[in-house]
Structure 1
Amino acid sequence: MEQQTKRIHLVDSMRGFSLLGILLANMLIFQYGLFGTDKLNLFPAVAGNSIFYEVTVILIEGSFMPIFAFLFGYSLLKLKEGLVAQGRKPGWALSRRFLLLMSLGTLHSVYIWEGDILIYYGGLGFLLLLFLNRKPKTLLVWAIVLMSLMGLLGFISDSPSDPSIIEMDKETLTYVQETVTLYPEGTYSEIKHHRNTESPIKEDPVFLIALLLLAPLISLPMFLLGIYAAKKSWFQNPDMESPMYAKGALIFITLGIGLKLLKFVFPGMVLSGGPVLSIGYIMAFALIYSKLMSPTWRSRFAAVGKLSLTNYLMQSVICTTIFYGYGLGWFGKIGVSAGILLAVLIYSVQLFASSWYVSHFRIGPVERLLRMGTYFTLSGKVKRRIS
């Protein structure tokens, strides 16, 4: 029981830590829009923007969402095992959970913010059902093969002379130029209408289909590695596993950053350094957790992780209120470095607010809703089936 408690606390803390990186990466989208993050020249110039932008892209962007995906897969297997132990059929319960995630994501993307991930996670969950009963070796092979394929695709550069790419870029440029003036001054209804009707992706069905087909190839490996880690009982004993964490952190952080830096050598190529770097971050956090982190800070990160869905949605509410016209209207105005400081401030508030919340309540409001839908009970607790 003690080892299980250590594992749960570490996983919760790691999930809480990943939300900091997700907020730092999403801050670019909150500040410049989903399509404006690589077109900063269209926004008011702020000193140091380019330097802090490149640092964020290399160290943060694409390297923390995979941690969340890894933990999603890890927790999914534990949830399935818990349902089986209670005599329940996991397929129906998990399907309800995925449908509820997709519903929450739809509401989130339509009414709050365009950078939602919940729809995608819910949809991919149905695919993950095919892998929950697979052997660890099978999961590892699938993860490595898919990650390698994504790496090979990165060596196929976009051709700037491709007519479809040129046309897409024109539509994107027009869309971003509209957001530059609309988002910091527009009303809630104006911004919502623009986001839901004028998006370049929604106006290009071919590109959207291609994106939907490639998306699982990009992120599925981390989900599968999470299931693999759960089957292999990773994080069961953090103190004993610390040598593995140290080696993994050194190898994967070095390799991940190296892959990301290759874009400066081969412009236009998208290499899969993000997931590799995320594995390094996972190992580094586990090492710090087991050797350096005090019990107080462990509990704070764990509290954020226990309320991960609530905190994720609150980040969207807070940041859209700060940056959009119906709030402070800071969209595109404060710069990347100030955005990083703002993200750290918001996350710091969540650290202490989450700690207070879990000391008074057992579960977060959105997490309770998700459990009610998963277990189909008003209490949000699984009922043991008596055979």
Structure 2
Amino acid sequence: MGSASRTRPPKVSAEGLQTAPATPEVRIRTLDILRGFALLGILVVNARVLGAVPDGERGEWSADLLSALLVGTLIESKFYLLFSFLFGYSTALLTRGPQASGRGGAARYPRRLAALLVLGAGHALLLFPGDILTLYAVLGLLLHPLRRLRPHTLCRIGCGLLVFFFLLMVAYGLATLGAGPQTEGTPSGELADLYRAGPVGTVTAHLAQLPLFMAGNAMFAPHVLAAMILGLAAGKSSLLEGKLPTGDLAVPGLPGARRIVVAGLVVGLPGSGFMAVGAYGPLPPEWSVLGRAAGVLSAPALTAALGSLVLIAISRRSGSRTGTMLSDAGRMALTHYLCQSLVLCLVFTGYGLGLYGRVGGAVALVGCLSLFTAQLLLSGPVLRRWGRGPAEALVRLVSQGRTRM
């Protein structure tokens, strides 16, 4: 960097871009890399939900049951927390610096949330009723007033929310356990018929499921908001904006990443494993909610460990290519999220093959890995051609108050 960058601090644009005064925009690569990584976990979980993927029989070991246990331990409840944390971090970037206080700056954040709300509503109706964008838009309004608090105060609020939600889930889990044996819920034949009956049937099925998914989003809103608040605290502290010297690749790093990995695995794996065996066996179904309660506290620890592992891996010279592909995918994470749902609909619903409830967990996992690989490979060419994804371009236009390209 030149002398100008030493005399004046870098500024952050409305998209969360760190820019030197006299140089082109440079993304904060850690955020993009972690967003790209999070896309994989979101895809795997959404595929299992949208496709009603069978888990295999409890107590009968199979590839489908093993894949369910793997997903339940390492992926479920982890990656929406990572996205929530990054949402909070980006909020800190969006609401600080000249871009937030300049002309029209105060209106950009609510306009951005409004764009997410509209996109999420359309996504829920047409593609996936378990949409998370609408929840982010609503919780973003709650997050915005907290931006002036100090990081340590935000950490206390976020951790307090986690403990509060954990205690609620424990109480709910103990009540469920005390109610005695339960039968596992399976997709109804009527719902399966709708999902296989063409586009109209698919939209009808989405409408029928919306109340259930909205209730689930409301139930887990404290968990999501806690991650957002902790991300806001991290953003105000510029936690992910340092540099790790890695040969030809300068990867923004995370202080103490290796310690975070060790601590996160020790704290996170037991609780997440308990959550998985409660949800998929061999424990009986009535243990599921109590397992989810354990996941409330273990999931953040394991999420931090997995994210740190990725940063450590791509900080090595051998991981530079992977880091670049993850970064490119993360720059258009919103577009990829919507495209994932579109592809899943073409596979599982009446929009396409209508394989709802007919694809096992192991096959679905392999399919998700294949789709994610394709997204990684396509991100670079798309960015080189257009500079950003179409969904990101739309949100940018709305947030800046423009009505045309």
TM range (shorter): 0.7 to 0.9
Aligned-partner Cα distance in 1 for 2:314–2:177: 49
Q: What secondary structure sits across from 1:129 in the alignment?
A: helix
TM-score, length basis structure 2: 0.80
Give, in angstroms, the shift of residue 149 of structure 1: 1.6
CA 1:177/1:237 → structure 2, altered by over 3 Å: closer, same or farther?
A: same
Residue matched to 1:357:
382
| Structure 1: gaps spanning 5 or more residues | 381-387
2:208 to 197, 201, 206: 197
The answer to which structure, 1 or 2, has the higher relative contact order (CA under 8 A, 6+ apart) is 1
Q: What secondary structure sits across from 1:329 in the alignment?
A: coil
Aligned-partner Cα distance in 2 for 1:100–1:200: 22
Most deviating of 269-278 and 258-267: 258-267
Asked if residue 74 in structure 1 is aligned to residue 89 in structure 2, the reply is yes
Residue matched to 1:383:
none
Most deviating of 16-25 and 211-220: 211-220
Residue matched to 1:256:
268
Asked if residue 294 in structure 1 is aligned to residue 319 in structure 2, the reply is yes
Most deviating of 332-341 and 308-317: 332-341
Give, in angstroms, the shift of residue 147 of structure 1: 1.1
Residue matched to 2:118:
103
Q: Deviations over 1:121-158 (max 9, x none)?
A: 11111001111111111111111111122222232225
Residue matched to 1:127:
142
Identity rate of aligned residues, in percent?
25
Q: What secondary structure sits across from 2:148 in the alignment?
A: coil
CA 1:378/1:289 → structure 2, altered by over 3 Å: closer, same or farther?
A: farther
Aligned-partner Cα distance in 1 for 2:389–2:403: 15
Give, in angstroms, the shift of residue 248 of structure 1: 0.6
CA 1:293/1:223 → structure 2, altered by over 3 Å: closer, same or farther?
A: farther
Q: What secondary structure sits across from 1:130 in the alignment?
A: helix
TM-score, length basis structure 1: 0.84
CA 1:285/1:212 → structure 2, altered by over 3 Å: closer, same or farther?
A: closer
Q: Deviations over 1:163-218 (max 9, x none)?
A: 9x99xx99x958633233432x311101211320365638xxxx93xx56543311
Aligned-partner Cα distance in 2 for 1:313–1:46: 34
Aligned-partner Cα distance in 1 for 2:50–2:218: 26
How do residues 124-273 of structure 1 correspond to structure 2 at under 5 angstroms? 124-156=139-171, 157=173, 159-160=175-176, 173=185, 176-183=188-195, 185-197=196-208, 201=212, 208=215, 214-239=219-244, 244-263=256-275, 264=277, 267=287, 268-269=289-290, 270-271=293-294, 272=296, 273=298
Most deviating of 296-305 and 58-67: 296-305
CA contact (8 A) 2:261 2:305 kept: yes
Give, in angstroms, the shift of residue 314 of structure 1: 0.3
Aligned-partner Cα distance in 2 for 1:181–1:274: 35
Q: What secondary structure sits across from 2:244 in the alignment?
A: helix
Number of residue pairs the alignment of both structures matches: 363
1:310 to 321, 335, 352: 335
Q: Deviations over 1:58-99 (max 9, x none)?
A: 111111111111111111111222454661454421111111
Asked if residue 27 in structure 1 is aligned to residue 47 in structure 2, the reply is yes
Q: Deviations over 1:307-360 (max 9, x none)?
A: 111110000001110111331122222211111110011011111111111111
CA 1:302/1:199 → structure 2, altered by over 3 Å: closer, same or farther?
A: closer
Aligned-partner Cα distance in 2 for 1:344–1:227: 31
Aligned-partner Cα distance in 2 for 1:359–1:69: 28
| Structure 2: gaps spanning 5 or more residues | 11-17, 20-25, 246-252
Aligned-partner Cα distance in 1 for 2:228–2:331: 19
Most deviating of 261-270 and 7-16: 261-270
CA contact (8 A) 2:54 2:64 kept: no
CA contact (8 A) 1:69 1:223 kept: yes
Aligned-partner Cα distance in 1 for 2:97–2:119: 24
